[in-house]
Structure 1
């Protein structure tokens, strides 16, 4: 998968988030329209409401304003490339969470009233929403920083092991992501978010049977939809997800050998983190995989680009440790 394809996958994920956040807050007031007054309190002065909008305006205007601003952020970030990624992720996640939470607080405050002037205070809901938005923005920033393109190392000679001149240090790094797994994670996450927002707005009870499975599925998809493999003198590290967690590590001295092998999802039982007769495989695309044979446990394979170079360098470091160098 090329760098362009990886970036396109990330931007498609951002677009799905923008569309989902636009749809959920816009639909929430209409879904609760039978329990809302003709005009909704939308602005508070202290604990008392002092401004209102018709139901259609309270639903559509914030959603349209969000869609316009979010698409502008996405467009500018796409044109700018990295280092725009971190602030794009932080802006979209924090802004989307804040909009959805604020809309849920407004709907809850207006439920079962005949006059918007009787709306309940929203201070607590807005405070919780602001804290959640700040946390989401931090996660977006950290995830964006991990997508920085790695510095291209010198290309060493091909072979099972390589000669590294004295005084030089070599590091191999490869990243790969599957945009379809990201898209599936975004869609399942939106279903969970829609249920949570509806519950926060008082439209439904907390439907754990709906929210929990979709939330777990979304987190699982995002956790294993991208991978980063790194080989250093210390050994191999394989980190998952946008935050690089969880991660698996093998010391160089604990590795018997490393090789390249072509594998497909049919061989290992599907996509993502798979256990099969071949051992453990992180399958994000068909083709070459870096396969590690450790001293203890089953083999581990990860589908990454430039796997031959990674295997060569890992064999070099492993042989040095075995020789006591």
Structure 2
């Protein structure tokens, strides 16, 4: 707080979401592949390489999403350094709507021309329209509140702060 001014309220919205089936698939397949690597020497290398797929399920199966004056951040809950941060100056608008994974390219992290997404389930999703015209979509509970806060921050000139 600055001595010459009143305290400034900072509003932050934060949610976690986990996909049970993605986490279970990653865990069960990883365990199976480790067992195969341990007991089946001829297939050891292939089993260890396939662990990458199991890791992908585990890394993308749980996410954290934050909306703050710094922008919107979404990333892996298991490996927090794997995240996408969108500063407010890269966001034009935000909205929320019911979204199916098939609309946005499937489950997990998706990259398509003009649209990127983090999709763990069908349901509430935060839709961000970026300054370059692309869309970024995150399926997350209470997306309406996230969209409202993002639009409030944009309207109050908080871009780039």
Provide the TM-score with structure 2 as the length reference. Answer: 0.85
The reply to whether residue 251 of structure 1 matches residue 87 of structure 2 is: yes
1:190 — aligned with what?
Answer: 31
Deviation string for 1:193-231 (max 9, x for gaps)? Answer: 113333xxxx62572122212x01111001111111101
More helix by share: 1
1:24 — aligned with what?
Answer: none
2:76 — aligned with what?
Answer: 240
Give the drift of 1:191.
Answer: 2.1
Name the CA distance, whole Å, in 2 between partners of 1:294 and 1:279.
10
Name the CA distance, whole Å, in 2 between partners of 1:324 and 1:247.
19
Give the drift of 1:266.
Answer: 2.3
Give the drift of 1:234.
Answer: 0.8
More strand by share: 2
1:209 — aligned with what?
Answer: 46
Name the CA distance, whole Å, in 2 between partners of 1:324 and 1:234.
7
Structure 2 portions without partners, runs of 5+: 1-5
> Does 1 or 2 have the higher relative contact order (CA < 8 Å, sep 6+)?
2
Change (3 A) 1:274 1:324: closer
Deviation string for 1:179-203 (max 9, x for gaps)? Answer: 00011101110122113333xxxx6
Give the counterpart of 2:103 among 261, 267, 288: 267
1:221 — aligned with what?
Answer: 57
RMSD (CA atoms): 2.4
Give the drift of 1:240.
Answer: 1.3
Count of matched residue pairs: 156
SS of equivalent to 2:37: helix
Name the CA distance, whole Å, in 1 between partners of 2:70 and 2:87.
6
1:288 — aligned with what?
Answer: 124
SS of equivalent to 2:41: coil
Provide the TM-score with structure 1 as the length reference. Answer: 0.44
Contact 1:223 1:245 in 2 (8 A): no
Name the CA distance, whole Å, in 1 between partners of 2:118 and 2:52.
19
Contact 2:22 2:57 in 1 (8 A): yes
Change (3 A) 1:219 1:323: closer
Structure 1 portions without partners, runs of 5+: 1-164
Contact 2:153 2:159 in 1 (8 A): no
Name the CA distance, whole Å, in 2 between partners of 1:300 and 1:287.
15
Higher Cα Rg, which structure: 1
SS of equivalent to 2:25: helix
